[in-house]
Structure 1
Amino acid sequence: MQLRELAEKLRCRLVGNGEIEVNRLAPLHEAGEGDLAFVANARDLPKLEASKASAVIAHEGSPPCSKPALLTNDPYLAFVQALRLFYTPDRPTRGVHPSSIVQEGVCLAEDVAIGPLSVVEAGVTIGQRSIVGAQVYIGKGTRVGVDCRFYPQVMIRDGVEIGDRVIIHSGAVIGSDGFGYRKDGQGVRIKIPQVGRVILEDDVEIGANVTIDRATMGTTRIKRGTKIDNLVQIAHNVVVGADTVIAALSGISGSTTIGDRVTLAGQVGIADHVEIGDDVTVGAQAGVTKSLPPGGVFLGFPAVPHLEFKRSVAAVNRIPQLLMAIKRIEARLASLEDTMRERREEAQPSQPASEGGPQ
């Protein structure tokens, strides 16, 4: 693609030769002839002239360079859009692979593709242009929308409802039993039947090896546009709001409600029956033990407002200095006590010797 054409598609301002051909995109330090790189941070500008890239995407207002450039106020976004132009996912051949098992009563819409060794149980409905990879299991009564993609070895249990344009990556399990037990009179744990379901709304993406438990009763729900990273656990009856982002290794306990546009960083843990308001950000490795109001940034365990956490960290970091100060004060006090004791002893009158011997 010519750079001039790419500039039009990305709505960037072209500076330099627009006739050069761009064949692929590459990182700045790996780019070669025919490659388009991008500079998203000013600290990378010194590396630009040394790069062998044929052209670059840079921030509007960047210093002039010798390479043809596409200038924009958001270079990273432009680079992402360029990736979408150059690289489109492979689409398997429509139809059901001969090695797969599709039970009676399954409804497959136009252009559905089902890969090798997959199992689709009775009563499943799959919408137009959806792709089911190899070794995928889809349980009874599940409904799948249009333009979905399930990568190999996804497992979807019975009765799950999946909206349009949902992506589920390998190893994810959707609709497994919730973790619920009750002790009987003899202290034996009795399994609580998990008879609810899971709903994934439109434009949700589920990372590799994510587990989302079905509700005990009712629904575990992931709302529209939410993106979940790899290795996340979502327990029964959890509701995750729209456009929320959950990073890897986070765990959400049962019956928790998370608002819209929430960000949970890596390794966040959330206790059960907690409510997190809209637009909240929870920092990495934080532990949420109680409900959080909308709009705040929270850090630490237990999670507290970020300014309070920073003050606590600053205080902890001063402990060695404070211990040294205490030791100096103790030494001075001991020295003062010794001095005061010596002065008291000097001030006491000496006892006169007894006169005369025994009569």
Structure 2
Amino acid sequence: MPDSRFFETLSPLSVVELAAKTGGEAVRGGDRMIGSVAPLSSADGGAIAFMGDRKFVAALAATQAGCVIVPEQAVGSVPAEAAVIVSRTPQASWAMASALLHRPLSLDRAIAPSEASEDDSVVIEPGAVLGEGVRIGCGTRIGANTVIGPGVQIGRDCVIGSNVTVGFALIGDRVKLYAGARIGEAGFGATGTAAGAMDIPQLGRVILQDGVTVGANSCIDRGAYDDTVIGENTKIDNLVMVGHNCVIGRNNLMAANTGISGSVTSGDNVIFGGKAGIGDHLTIGEGARVAAGAGVLADIPPGETWSGYPARPIRQFLRETVWLAKQASSKKAPRES
């Protein structure tokens, strides 16, 4: 269930109603009431999930979801106790169901600093806006013209710069967010429909653990359903992008212009050089190093240093670079006539 501090759960709908509103067809359990959405792995009897790819057949067979949305050929793999909606575009139908059952809380009313602050040591600079349910720990400073969305929890001794936006987030102690940082915006999720691409609602959160620093104009997206997590004491430079559902370890360092795609996991003590790019659903092992400008398209084992595009172990990269240089220099340029 999405966090009620950030999302409103709307009235339940029957499987038949959901099918009618999402372009599917209810083929079993049409009277069952559904109150939430969830992935196959974590859905319970009151939730609706989907399977759009054959690689998730095992997860489909083990799901405890009350209803699943599947393509017609996968109906036989659905557990007997689950209701079924058949759709040509299961993920799009699930996205529509998400919007029907859950709604992000909006900043309809700002609260006074005294309502949000733990004590008088909290400083709220001019122009800052605080949504309902915001809590700010002692010793924290909120910069001018910063917007803190409904339900956000901020720990003690934090420094939030000017023109920062924070939403759908839980922030630990001694966190620093420099000017223009964007925390908790919707992750990049889209799926195809007959009418073209549509956004997938992003129902997760951002969790910044103690001692995290986020540089100016950097972005950390909230999770699609699970959380985006930045581990303790990780330091993020200016102009860095961290996609949804990433789980970043402790004491990571990310230099400017690093881009981390969605669902990346990194261990502790990982270093990302400037302008490094990491493909989605990859794992970067503990103590690994990614050289500046590297484009990572495969998992990196713990302790290794990778460079190049596509990135590979640095010794291999250097050998190949030297070989290419020798090949180029061994060929003399033709003389001009």
The 2-side partners of 1:296 and 1:116 are apart by: 47
Structure with the bigger RCO (C-alpha within 8 Å, sep 6+) is 2
Q: Which residue of 2 aligns with 1:89?
A: none
The 2-side partners of 1:279 and 1:286 are apart by: 17
Q: Which residue of 2 aligns with 1:185?
A: 194
Letter of the structure 2 residue corresponding to residue 234 of structure 1:
V
Q: 1:316: how far off?
A: 1.3
Report if aligned partners of 1:298, 1:306 keep a CA contact under 8 Å in 2. Answer: yes
Q: Which residue of 1 aligns with 2:178?
A: 169
| 1:216/1:280 CA distance change after superposition, 3 Å | same
CA deviation map 1:330-350 (0-9, x unaligned): xxxxxxxxxxxxxxxxxxxxx
Select 1:295's aligned residue among 288, 291, 303.
303
CA deviation map 1:261-301 (0-9, x unaligned): 00000000000000000000110000000111000111101
Letter of the structure 2 residue corresponding to residue 285 of structure 1:
G
The 2-side partners of 1:226 and 1:142 are apart by: 20
Report if aligned partners of 2:113, 2:130 keep a CA contact under 8 Å in 1. Answer: no
Select 1:237's aligned residue among 245, 255, 270.
245
Report if aligned partners of 1:103, 1:122 keep a CA contact under 8 Å in 2. Answer: no
Select 2:156's aligned residue among 126, 146, 168.
146
Aligned residues between the structures? 226
| 1:311/1:104 CA distance change after superposition, 3 Å | closer
Q: 1:324: how far off?
A: 3.4
- The within-5 A match list for 1:30-179 is 102-103=111-112, 106-110=115-119, 111-157=121-167, 159-179=168-188
Q: Which residue of 1 aligns with 2:89?
A: none
The 2-side partners of 1:202 and 1:319 are apart by: 51
The 2-side partners of 1:273 and 1:103 are apart by: 41
The 2-side partners of 1:323 and 1:180 are apart by: 49
Normalising by structure 2, report the TM-score.
0.65
The 1-side partners of 2:111 and 2:330 are apart by: 71
The 2-side partners of 1:128 and 1:260 are apart by: 29
CA deviation map 1:49-103 (0-9, x unaligned): xxxxxxxxxxxxxxxxxxxxxxxxxxxxxxxxxxxxxxxxxxxxxxxxxxxx535
Select 1:226's aligned residue among 216, 230, 234.
234
SS of the residue corresponding to residue 321 of structure 1 reads helix
SS of the residue corresponding to residue 206 of structure 2 reads strand
Q: 1:320: how far off?
A: 2.4
Letter of the structure 1 residue corresponding to residue 250 of structure 2:
A
Report if aligned partners of 1:241, 1:259 keep a CA contact under 8 Å in 2. Answer: yes
- The within-5 A match list for 1:200-219 is 200-219=208-227
Q: Which residue of 1 aligns with 2:35?
A: none
Select 1:323's aligned residue among 309, 323, 331.
331
CA deviation map 1:170-193 (0-9, x unaligned): 00000001011000134x001100
Letter of the structure 1 residue corresponding to residue 310 of structure 2:
P
Runs of 4+ in 1 over 4 A off after TM superposition: none
The 2-side partners of 1:213 and 1:202 are apart by: 18
Q: Which residue of 1 aligns with 2:270?
A: 262
SS of the residue corresponding to residue 318 of structure 1 reads helix
CA RMSD of superposed structures (Å): 1.9
Q: 1:318: how far off?
A: 1.0
Q: 1:259: how far off?
A: 1.0
**Percent identity of paired positions between Structure 1 and Structure 2:** 41
Normalising by structure 1, report the TM-score.
0.61
Report if aligned partners of 1:137, 1:154 keep a CA contact under 8 Å in 2. Answer: yes
